């Protein structure tokens, strides 16, 4: 159900999840909301909300595809973690290039259009440096999205309350860690155990963060410095 946020989650015998226009009742619930675990009152002051950003070109023409050459689908991650990820995509929606870079720490879990515009300059520069043969190809979509990190790099996998399970805080590696977390939380809710689940349950809690203004200044300075050190990887 897109666009139907859960606005309250209470245990009244079973769990009752209320949305603006309805409610769902279930004996067991798995929270897979990443950093929004905080919005439900869990792990307050323990989760870092870091944004990263992407821009996607318009559909490339056949002439541009020929100039680009190579395979139609590939992805490259940077040698430096603060660098730029580049993806060449092809299929529904045509042939395009996606550029992802920059990180910002935003405890309020929101970023505004001005930020997206500033980051867009870094995307355009990274695109131009890598694809001079596509000079003049403009970006059609730009967006930012939330990563949830913990200071000690742990995920939040476990039972938060009776019948309420968490598969959250992927530390930026959602495709691998998020998939694992979801599977383990489902196993836990069904009483199925495994060495991987036992390891997850034995993990520490996310360590506490310094007070929000200090954490925000410190984290953003640290990120900017690391981004500068990434040099041409960015």
Q: Take residue 117 and report the two structure tokens written for it.
A: 């515009």
Q: Is 34 in the site for ligand FAD (CB under 6 A)?
A: yes
- List the interface residues with ligand FAD, window 138-157 (CB under 6 A): 145-147
Give least dist CB 74 to ligand FAD, A.
13
Give least dist CB 66 to ligand FAD, A.
27
**Residue (32 or 67) nearer to ligand FAD, CB:** 32
Q: Is 78 in the site for ligand FAD (CB under 6 A)?
A: no
SS3 category, 146:
strand
The size of the chain, in residues, is 234
**Residue (84 or 216) nearer to ligand FAD, CB:** 84
In angstroms, the CA 234 to CA 231 distance is: 6
Cβ–Cβ contacts within 10 Å for residue 42, how many?
18
Choose, by CB under 6 A, the member of 16, 18, 24, 33 that binds ligand FAD.
Answer: 33
Torsion of CA 60, 61, 62, 68, to 10 degrees: -40
SS3 category, 14:
strand
**166 close to 157: Cβ distance less than 8 angstroms:** yes
Q: Is 158 in the site for ligand FAD (CB under 6 A)?
A: no
**Residue (67 or 125) nearer to ligand FAD, CB:** 125
| Pairing of β 85-89 and β 96-105 | antiparallel
Choose, by CB under 6 A, the member of 173, 192, 201, 225 that binds ligand FAD.
Answer: 173
Cβ–Cβ contacts within 10 Å for residue 169, how many?
26
Give residues in contact with ligand FAD (CB under 6 A): 5-6, 32-34, 36, 52-54, 85, 100, 145-147, 170, 172-176, 178
């Amino acid at each position: 159900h897109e666009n139907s946020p859960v606005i309250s989650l209470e245990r009244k015998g079973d769990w009752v999840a209320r949305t603006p226009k309805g409610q769902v009742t279930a004996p067991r619930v798995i929270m897979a909301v990443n950093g929004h675990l905080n919005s439900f009152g869990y792990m307050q002051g323990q989760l870092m909300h870091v944004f990263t950003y992407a821009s996607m070109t318009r559909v490339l023409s056949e002439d541009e595809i020929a100039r680009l050459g190579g395979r139609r689908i590939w992805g490259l991650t940077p040698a430096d973690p603060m660098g730029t990820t580049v993806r060449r995509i092809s299929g529904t929606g045509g042939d395009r290039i996606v550029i992802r870079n920059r990180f910002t720490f935003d405890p309020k879990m929101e970023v505004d259009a001005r930020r997206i515009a500033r980051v867009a300059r870094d995307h355009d520069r990274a695109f131009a440096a890598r694809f001079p043969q596509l000079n003049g190809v403009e970006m059609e979509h730009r967006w930012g999205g939330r990563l949830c990190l913990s200071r000690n790099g742990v995920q939040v996998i476990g039972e938060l309350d009776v019948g309420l399970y968490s598969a959250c805080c992927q530390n930026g590696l959602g495709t691998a860690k998020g998939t694992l977390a979801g599977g383990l939380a489902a196993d836990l809710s069904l009483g199925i155990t495994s060495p991987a689940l036992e390891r997850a349950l034995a993990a520490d809690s996310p360590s506490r963060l310094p007070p929000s203004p200090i954490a925000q200044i410190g984290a953003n300075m640290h990120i900017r410095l690391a981004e500068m050190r990434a040099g041409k990887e960015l």
